[in-house]
Amino acid sequence: MTIFGSDLFRMIVGLIGVIALVSVNALFLIWMERKVAAHMQLRPGPMEVGWHGSIQTVADALKLLGKELITPAEVDRPVYLLAPIVIFLPVLVSFLVIPFAPNLIIRDMNVGVLLILAFAALTVLAILMAGWASNNKYSAFGAIRSVAQNVAYEIPLLITVMSVILMVGSFRLTDIVAAQERYWFILIQPLAFILYITCATAETNRAPFDLPEAESELVAGFHTEYSGMRFALFFLAEYTNMFIVSALATIFFLGGWRGPFLPGWAWFFIKVYAMIFLIMWFRWTFPRVRFDQLITFAWKILIPLAFANLLLTAFLMKIF
Amino acid sequence: MLEPLEEKTYILNLGPQHPSTHGVLRVVLEMEGEFIVKADPDIGYGHRGHEHMAENRNYLQFLPNMGRVDYLHALAFNHGYCMAVEKLIGLEVPERAEFIRVITAELNRIASHLLWVGAYLLDLGAFTPFLYCFDDRENILDLLDRITGSRLTYCFYRFGGVPQDIDQEFIDGCRAFAKRLRRRWKDYDNLVTKNIIFIERTKGIGVITKEQCRLYGLTGPMARGSGIPYDIRKSEPYSAYPLFDFEIPIGENGDIMDRYLVRMREMEQSLRIIEQALDKLPNGPIMAEKVPKRIKPAAGEVYAAVETARGEFGCYIVSQGDVKPYRIKLRVPSFANLSILPEISRDTLVADFVAILGSIDVVVPEIDR
Amino acid sequence: MIKIGLLEEALNLARANSLWPMTFGLACCAIEMMAAGAARFDLDRFGAGVFRPSPRQCDLMIVAGTISKKMAPAVVRLWEQMPAPKWVIAMGNCAISGGPFYYPTQYAIVPGADLIIPVDVYVPGCPPRPEGLIEGILMLEEKITKRGRLRKFRDVK
Amino acid sequence: MLSENIKKALGPLGLEKVAPGDYAKTGYHLEVAAAPNQMPAVAQVMRDQGCFLESLTALHFREHFTLVYHFAHYEELCRTVVKAVLPLGQQAPTISHIYPGANWYEREVYDLFGIRFTGHPDLRRILLPFEADFHPLLKQFEEEAEKSETKADA
């Protein structure tokens, strides 16, 4: 076996690719978000920097790179400095197991689903660290809300995903895509899909569930005190998280890379961006829910529904 | 790091720079967890000394200030002040001028309500309605810009009339705008009024009873939302308002939803008034014939009230027979409306507090004067 | 040295095209600032439409309105909380010189934002129209990059 | 008629003046003059009659202050003005326990004129910064300022 075929080489190339993808993707997503928002709001959005503002986010990123990094007095320094890095790591790891196309996957693990969901839970730790360390009441609020919210929404998310896994019988993401050869799972699990999208929006702290950074209540929530590149990392992580939950939705419910005519990766990206568009659409349409409503909604509606869906799936699997 | 909490409550400082305090209001919140034990509004960050200024200028020089007290419904404040001075010096305003005043003031009221709806939805976390409202509002500003010459801080009325007549283009523009806004109601209904999250956020929150309204002296949509049909345009008719047929929308429960609905329906009533006024617009002069060059009223005092978008604006002028007023007290609606905030925000969540604060529709420089 | 110069220029270009203002309105002018960010005028076209509520994430403070003496310490504090490089636009006559509210016995306001914080661009008007604010922001871009989009309009005779 | 009822109810208090006003000229239906320490009783009567406090302000004259209370009614058009002459340097009783809305108005009067209200639960400055050491709407303040103004001009 040559060095090019080795696992190590694959990992290194993969990681470089992932980092490139993450940054380019985030830049694109932020531009897309601004354009989507603008067109929904009867305005053109970024227009002057590049063609239709296409390098607007590059300018933003460059500017943020050149900004002063303020570390406010009386913050919990190590935790404060670590938080933006911690929020970024799980995001990178999740990319390792996502199958972009039949062979375009860095590491095809048999516990892929678990890996992603386990690392996604780390995000909340970073938010908690950031909020706590900032020595700011608004940040602490954001952090506390974030923890409660993520605990509440992780459960229905997992249970919903379980009902798909029950049908496939494997935690391997490629297996799940392979199982959708004849039909997409959205057709036989529509309830699970709706539950998943709701939970995913809450998991990524997007409106109408963006309570940890609720602008009109908590100024900027957990990242109120972060400036420059540190703030940019939170931003980057948010958009990459969005990509990951959309990619998972594509894999679980929309048949992954499957589609006629176009190559697999193209279909994959089309589906993912369609999902992201959906999440953006939510954000620019709905008002924000209140925090207790959010929690009530998770524990009293989403979790029972997810359980019912799981039981129904198991029951039907037993019969047929 | 946060210090360990020895007491059960802690202080959260909201403002003076906070996205949902609409300018420079500061509220010191005493909190227990996410619940508010006590809210103490700290106003005065926009205090500019209008009343002190009034004592240092003559009557005409003080007129431009009125557009800056409440910049969102500047024309109503113009109207109130002009009415008070006209009463003081006994000036009759020609009918056509009154009609023009009513038309422009009602247009301005719609603009103010639209801005409130947009900014309020922004408080609740919905960004898009804000831009929709601003888009509609720009149409009004175009119309008013045509005849008043400014977009925001109008100084359009004069003692004894208005300085500029309206033309056919303005009339056509008003009619076209009324048509356009009526078509937009459906959009607002779908986007906001029927939105389940919006309903959940506003129904039963921030309830004000009739008795509380009376004790705190609330006026405008705050009182009407609680079911009190108090509208100066009807209950103390002034200008050309008695000539028009319109209703006073009132709410039932006194919660945020009712205040929202009252404002939405009021816009419809304003459109009705504008259309009737355009239909009945009489010919004639737009300025009283004998307007004294130098306004020097005899000693005396006067109180004149008008209905602004936020409630009753009363202008209390005391004259000592000088060219300068001895004292002008501006009874502004938001001052009383905000004073109920500590009462109704007790034991609410921060999110509800923001919703309640937004529903009061405060304009901070108006409170602070 | 040349390379550092180039980098600096690229950074300045990026800064000029991504001026994030603070959500910070003091009085009447704030409404026109909102209007400038809204549908018809859309500051976002120039990359300046991302209104950040936290001063830590802003580049630009638009002092939109009268600064009262009670508010002045807060304004200074907010300005100090912003990370460098930062700019200030004094929007409206009140922020420039106290505007219509300044007279000898005035007790309540600070006559001019430049008395308490350094101001880069002054936009006159009471209040300035949104077009005026946009021109102010383009001026600021010109100031940052030493070249500008405005020139072509100004040279028209 | 509400103004008749108010007149009747105010009768036993022995006020200085209770007279109908010239509405067309001043905007008042009823003009009342009272002593400052009668104000709580007057306010109680107004509250019982269903009126609300429209505004509360003060006027500064050379020898005395005049507290001006405006009352109006939601259902009926009836504006009552109550004036209370307060000698300089004296305190007036608060009516904020009768009308909670008067709380802020009294704070404002204290802030702008320096009139103290006895029994007020929370008499702090409201518009000016807490550390301010002057009351801007006092006329003396203005005369002094005029002096300094002429100095500045010269």
> What digits encode the pLDDT tens for the residues B189-204?
888 888 888 888 888 8
What's the one-letter identity of residue A245? V
Distance from the Cα of D149 to chain C's closest Cα (Å) equals: 6
Alpha carbons B228 and B218: distance in angstroms, whole number: 10
**Cβ-defined contact of C45 to A47 (cutoff 8 Å):** yes
CB pairs under 8 A between A and C: 97
| pLDDT confidence of residue B6 | 63
What would the pLDDT profile of B22-47 be if each residue is shown by its tens digit? 778 888 888 887 788 888 888 888 88
Nearest CA in chain C to D130: C70
Q: Which of B130, B124, B271 is nearest to B188 (CA)?
A: B130
Q: Which of C57, C54, C63 is nearest to C133 (CA)?
A: C63
Q: Which of B19, B14, B25 is nearest to B362 (CA)?
A: B25
DSSP labels for B124-187?
TT--HHHHHHHHHHHHHHHHHHHHHS-SSS----BTTB-SS---HHHHHHHHHHHHHHHHHHHH
Q: Tokens representing B214?
A: 């009376």
Percent of chain B with pLDDT over 70: 98
What would the pLDDT profile of B134-170 be if each residue is shown by its tens digit? 888 888 888 888 888 888 888 888 888 888 888 888 8
Could you give the 3-state DSSP secondary structure of residue C64?
Answer: strand
Nearest CA in chain C to A64: C15
**DSSP 8-state code for residue B305:** E
Q: Tokens representing D139?
A: 């006329």
Cα angle at B49 between B330 and D96, to 5 degrees? 55
CB-based contact, C69 to chain D, within 8 Å: yes
Q: Tokens representing A320?
A: 């047929």
Q: At what angle do helices A122-133 and A77-95 cross, to 10 degrees?
A: 160
Place C151 in a pLDDT band, splitting at 50, 70 and 90: low
Alpha carbons D55 and A89: distance in angstroms, whole number: 61
Three-state helix/strand/coil letters over A305-316: HHHHHHHHHHHH
Which domains occur in chain D, in start order? 2-153 (3.30.460.80)
Q: What is the CATH number of domain B10-368?
A: 1.10.645.10
* β-strand partners of D93: D118
* β-strand partners of D72: D52
Buried b / exposed e across C39-59, counting CB within 10 Å, b at 16+?
bbbbbbbbbbbbbbbbbbbbb
| pLDDT confidence of residue C83 | 87
* Lowest mean pLDDT segment, chosen from A48-57, B280-289, B344-353, C114-123: A48-57
First to last CA, chain D: 60
* Lowest mean pLDDT segment, chosen from A50-64, B200-214, D2-16: D2-16
Between the alpha carbon of residue C83 and those of residues B120, B220, C121, the distances in Å are: 30, 43, 19
| pLDDT confidence of residue A5 | 62
Residue in A137, A219, A286 closest to B18 by CB: A219
Nearest CA in chain A to B191: A285
Q: What is the ipTM of this complex?
A: 0.84
DSSP labels for D20-79?
E--HHHHS-SEEEEE-GGGHHHHHHHHHHTTEEEEEEEEEE-SSEEEEEEEEEESSS---
A141, part of any domain: yes
Residues A279, A280, A284, A290, CA torsion sign: positive
Q: Please state, as a whole number, how many other Cβ atoms lie within 10 Å of the Cβ of residue D12.
A: 9
Alpha carbons D93 and A60: distance in angstroms, whole number: 60
Contact between B358 and B20 (Cβ < 8 Å): yes
Q: At what angle do helices B350-360 and B256-280 cross, to 10 degrees?
A: 20
Count of domains forming chain A: 1
Alpha carbons C123 and A258: distance in angstroms, whole number: 56
CB-based contact, B197 to chain A, within 8 Å: yes
**Cβ-defined contact of B197 to A140 (cutoff 8 Å):** no
Alpha carbons A229 and A307: distance in angstroms, whole number: 42
CB-based contact, C59 to chain A, within 8 Å: yes
**DSSP 8-state code for residue A232:** H
Place A168 in a pLDDT band, splitting at 50, 70 and 90: confident
| pLDDT confidence of residue C149 | 65
Indicate whether C1 pLDDT > 50: no
| pLDDT confidence of residue D152 | 44
Indicate whether C152 pLDDT > 50: yes
Alpha carbons A287 and B19: distance in angstroms, whole number: 15
Contacts with A48 from chain C: Cβ below 8 Å: 17, 45-47, 149
| pLDDT confidence of residue D151 | 46
Contacts with B44 from chain C: Cβ below 8 Å: 68, 70
CB-based contact, C32 to chain B, within 8 Å: yes
**Mean pLDDT, range A159-175, rounded to an integer:** 83
Question: What does residue A40 show for φ and ψ, rounded to 5 degrees?
Answer: -70, -25
Question: What does residue D86 show for φ and ψ, rounded to 5 degrees?
Answer: -120, 115
Q: Please state, as a whole number, how many other Cβ atoms lie within 10 Å of the Cβ of residue C132.
A: 17
Nearest CA in chain C to A35: C44
Alpha carbons B135 and B112: distance in angstroms, whole number: 13
**Mean pLDDT, range A277-289, rounded to an integer:** 85
| pLDDT confidence of residue C154 | 61
Alpha carbons A317 and A165: distance in angstroms, whole number: 12
Indicate whether C155 pLDDT > 70: no
Alpha carbons C131 and C137: distance in angstroms, whole number: 10
The residue range of the domain holding A96 is 76-319
Place A2 in a pLDDT band, splitting at 50, 70 and 90: low
Q: Please state, as a whole number, how many other Cβ atoms lie within 10 Å of the Cβ of residue C107.
A: 14
**Cβ-defined contact of C39 to B65 (cutoff 8 Å):** no
In terms of C-beta distances under 8 Å and separation of at least 24 residues, what long-range contacts does A201-205 make, across chains too?
Answer: A201/A279, A201/A282, A202/A149, A202/A152, A202/A153, A202/A294, A202/A298, A203/A120, A203/A150, A203/A153, A203/A154, A203/A157, A203/A241, A203/A245, A204/A238, A204/A241, A204/A242, A204/A245, A204/A279, A205/A146, A205/A149, A205/A238
**Mean pLDDT, range B86-103, rounded to an integer:** 87
Mean pLDDT per 10-residue section of chain D, whose length is 154 residues: 78 78 82 86 86 88 86 86 86 87 88 86 84 78 53 44
Q: Where are the domains of chain C?
A: 2-147
**Mean pLDDT, range C93-100, rounded to an integer:** 86
> Is A20 buried (19+), middle (13-18) or exposed (0-12) by CB count in 10 A?
exposed
Q: Which of B70, B76, B65, B72 is nearest to B241 (CA)?
A: B76
| pLDDT confidence of residue A1 | 47
Residue in A219, A286, A291 closest to B351 by CB: A291
* Lowest mean pLDDT segment, chosen from A95-99, A273-277, B238-242, C118-122: A95-99
What would the pLDDT profile of A133-154 be if each residue is shown by its tens digit? 888 888 888 888 888 888 888 8
Q: Which of residues 256-295 of B touch A (CB under 8 A)?
A: none
| pLDDT confidence of residue D154 | 39
Indicate whether C80 pLDDT > 70: yes
Could you give the 3-state DSSP secondary structure of residue D93?
Answer: strand
Indicate whether A88 pLDDT > 70: yes
Residues D132, D137, D142, D143, CA torsion sign: negative
In terms of C-beta distances under 8 Å and separation of at least 24 residues, what long-range contacts does B274-278 make, across chains too?
Answer: B274/B103, B274/B106, B274/B107, B274/B174, B274/B178, B275/B174, B275/B175, B275/B178, B276/B243, B276/B244, B276/B245, B276/B246, B277/B99, B277/B102, B277/B103, B277/B106, B277/B240, B277/B244, B278/B103, B278/B171, B278/B174, B278/B175
Q: Which of B337, B333, B345 is nearest to B216 (CA)?
A: B337
| pLDDT confidence of residue A192 | 85
CATH architecture, range C2-147: 3-Layer(aba) Sandwich (3.40)
Alpha carbons B53 and B42: distance in angstroms, whole number: 23
